[in-house]
Chains A and B, each alone.
Chain A
Amino acid sequence: DARVTQTPRHKVTEMGQEVTMRCQPILGHNTVFWYRQTMMQGLELLAYFRNRAPLDDSGMPKDRFSAEMPDATLATLKIQPSEPRDSAVYFCASGLVLPNTEAFFGQGTRLTVV
């Protein structure tokens, strides 16, 4: 049963701490997306990768956020230092570069920064 796996599912941290969220895309998928979901902004793209190379990270606050793909089986999203306004659900999705395909979503990481 192929699925996108995100860890942790929930994270509570104090303001100023570093947070790392991990994503294991579906094996063979070459495109990975990071989205953030908040009540106010809805679902917005933070960054995405193709063949492990970043294609667009314009949605990400550069001073505190960073996204990487150390290898094809792992994508990471880091926040340092975290702030209360970063509280949100962070989704990872993966897919293939084919015209008629969809992106598959992980179950998300709910981050609370207190």
Chain B
Amino acid sequence: AQTVTQSQPEMSVQEAETVTLSCTYDTSESDYYLFWYKQPPSRQMILVIRQEAYKQQNATENRFSVNFQKAAKSFSLKISDSQLGDAAMYFCAYRVRGNTPLVFGKGTRLSVIA
């Protein structure tokens, strides 16, 4: 069975600094997708960034980027120039092709210190 592990229950970062959230996963599939979702106190699940496993290039979205290490089954999220609005729970998630169900990690609560 596929599993997703986030080893950092809580993280904090100073405003304008950079922080990296860790995620590892286990799968026997070769074609899959990885995601980072943000859940602010409003509890809305917001897609932050997506990575296709067949792409070697790391995905980037403005201040958010990933370090995808397929052989190591590692998928970390880097947030640059952290802002107060980045404070939230962050979930790493995995799925295979075809919009199948997501498998989520337990989440990392990120605090941003002004």
Binding site for B on A (CB under 8 A): 31, 33, 35, 42-45, 48, 56, 89, 91, 93, 95-103, 105, 107-108, 110
Contacts and interface: CB of A to CB of B under 8 A. Distances in A.
B106 A102 contact: no
Chain B contact-residue range equals 20 to 34
A42 B106 contact: yes
A97 B43 contact: no
Nearest to B33: A100
Contacts of A31: 99
A35 B95 CA distance: 14
A105 B45 contact: yes
B85 interface: no
Interface in B24-55: 33, 35, 42-45, 47, 50, 52
Given A97-B98, A99-B97, A42 B104 contact: yes
A102 B44 contact: no
